[in-house]
């Protein structure tokens, strides 16, 4: 059941944004209430959107892809 939620959360997303979001969850960099549990599909969707926005901002500023996947602190 959870897999269907994840698939629905990312169905319209770019692969690079999904991969970046998953990497952030694995590294513990994504915002989560409790890191002992898998993220919800909503949390994944939010993180994917944030990765897309960061990628688009970097593109507008002319920053090379992969320079930094973390938002500024």
List, as one string, the DSSP characters of 9-45.
Answer: HHTTS-HHHHHHHHHHHHHT-S--S-TTSPPPHHHHH
* pLDDT of 56 over the 80 cut: yes
Alpha-carbon distance 13 to 16, whole Å?
A: 8
Q: If you average pLDDT over residues 29-51, what whole number do you get? A: 90
Phi, psi of 14 (to 5 degrees): -75, 145
When the pLDDT of each residue in the chain is averaged and rounded to a whole number, the result is 87
Q: If you average pLDDT over residues 24-47, what whole number do you get? A: 89
- Whether pTM > 0.75 for this model: the answer is yes
pLDDT band at 44 (very low <50, low <70, confident <90, very high): very high
Percent of the chain past pLDDT 90, that is, above it, reads: 66
pLDDT at 27: 92
Which has the closest alpha carbon to 21: 59, 72, 71? 71
């Amino acid at each position: 059941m959870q897999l269907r939620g994840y698939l629905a959360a990312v169905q319209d997303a770019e692969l690079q944004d999904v991969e970046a979001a998953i990497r952030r969850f694995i590294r513990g960099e994504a915002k989560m209430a409790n890191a002992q549990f898998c993220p919800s599909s909503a949390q994944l969707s939010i993180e994917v959107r944030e990765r897309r926005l960061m990628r688009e901002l970097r593109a507008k500023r002319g920053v090379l892809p992969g320079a930094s996947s973390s938002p500024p602190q």
